[in-house]
């Protein structure tokens, strides 16, 4: 996907498999998620295409500790010296103490670890230049998944952007939790987090995957029409609802499969 300005000082900088967003703070750049190591060259080129220099990257803030969101971080830190942020509970994913980055599941054996500079807690605020990012702890997809909220401005209007840090049900499935001996509590934590985020007013909903917020569709509508399709205060609540529905659908499917297995056992 091409890079583009979403609104004011907020930009999409790729890529289709995992989204990275750039915030121009007026005092350096913030990158939300670094993406796959294999797409780093695209993200760097996208930053340049938008007229910025990757050298001005000051902070890399991660939504959670999976390979598709932090895989390029070590190389980026070596290139730019940027400071890295991640939810406290996902630090062990980043530095390799826990082998749960999902790299293998995504088809990659090797992961370049890094030691995060700042471990985020619920309610932390990250300030840089004109930007203050509110960090809310929304565990479930991973134990340290963080969701982010921050104002964006074009100098005239100010809108509030928001991103949920991770809604994939893959890491909350029975199969995955059993395989790694993880607790099923993550499901309740995830639903509680979705409920809590309903309180947040979000005018511009961004996703850490393009399919979360229909990035491509919105980009194309924005190009064809005169309005900004990213500014829509209903999208956020619809997404939270859809995310809880997805988890319930997965649980229902698992329960049906369990019943089918025990029924076929009875017949034998």
User: What is the binding site for Zn ion (CB under 5 A)?
Assistant: 66, 166
Q: Are 61 and 30 in contact (CB under 8 A)?
A: yes
The upper half-sphere exposure of residue 174, i.e. CA atoms within 13 Å in the direction of its Cβ, equals: 11
Judged by beta carbon, residue 29 or residue 194, the one nearer Zn ion is: 194
- Closest separation between CB of residue 267 and Zn ion, Å? 39
Q: Which residues of 247-264 are buried (b: 16+ CB within 10 A; e: fewer)?
A: beebbeeeeeeeeeeeee
Judged by beta carbon, residue 54 or residue 166, the one nearer Zn ion is: 166
Q: What are the structure tokens assigned to 93, written together?
A: 């994913």
Q: How far apart, in whole angstroms, are the C-alpha atoms of residue 79 and residue 61? A: 16
- Closest separation between CB of residue 208 and Zn ion, Å? 8
Judged by beta carbon, residue 37 or residue 166, the one nearer Zn ion is: 166
Name the residue whose CB lies closest to Zn ion.
66
- Closest separation between CB of residue 102 and Zn ion, Å? 6
- Closest separation between CB of residue 266 and Zn ion, Å? 38
Alpha-helical (H) ranges within 144-233 are 174-180, 185-197, 210-213, 215-224
Judged by beta carbon, residue 21 or residue 66, the one nearer Zn ion is: 66
3 state SS of 160: strand
Q: What are the structure tokens assigned to 23, written together?
A: 């915030």
- Closest separation between CB of residue 143 and Zn ion, Å? 12
Q: How far apart, in whole angstroms, are the C-alpha atoms of residue 111 and residue 137? A: 25
Judged by beta carbon, residue 8 or residue 166, the one nearer Zn ion is: 166
């Amino acid at each position: 996907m091409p890079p583009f300005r979403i609104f004011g000082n907020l930009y999409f900088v790729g890529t289709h498999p995992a989204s990275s967003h750039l915030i121009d703070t007026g005092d350096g750049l913030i990158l939300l998620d670094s993406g796959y190591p294999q797409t780093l060259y695209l993200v760097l080129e996208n930053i340049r295409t938008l007229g910025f220099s990757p050298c001005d990257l000051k902070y890399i803030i991660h939504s959670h500790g999976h390979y598709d969101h932090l895989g390029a971080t070590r190389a980026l830190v070596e290139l730019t010296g940027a400071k890295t942020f991640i939810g406290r509970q996902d630090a062990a994913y980043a530095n390799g103490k826990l082998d749960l980055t999902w790299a293998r599941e995504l088809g990659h054996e090797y992961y370049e670890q890094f030691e995060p500079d700042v471990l985020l807690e619920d309610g932390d605020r990250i300030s840089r230049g004109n930007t203050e990012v509110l960090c809310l702890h929304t565990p479930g997809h991973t134990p340290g998944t963080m969701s982010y909220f921050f104002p964006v401005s074009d100098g005239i209007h100010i809108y509030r952007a928001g991103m949920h840090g991770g809604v994939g049900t893959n890491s909350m499935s029975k199969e995955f939790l059993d395989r790694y001996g993880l607790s099923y509590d993550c499901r309740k934590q995830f639903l509680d987090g979705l409920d809590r985020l309903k309180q947040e007013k979000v005018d511009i909903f961004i996703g850490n995957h393009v399919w979360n917020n229909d990035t491509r569709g919105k980009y194309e509508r924005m190009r064809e029409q005169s309005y900004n399709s990213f500014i829509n205060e209903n999208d956020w609540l619809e997404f939270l609802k859809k995310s809880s529905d997805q988890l319930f659908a997965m649980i229902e499917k698992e329960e049906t499969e369990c019943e089918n297995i025990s029924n076929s056992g009875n017949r034998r």
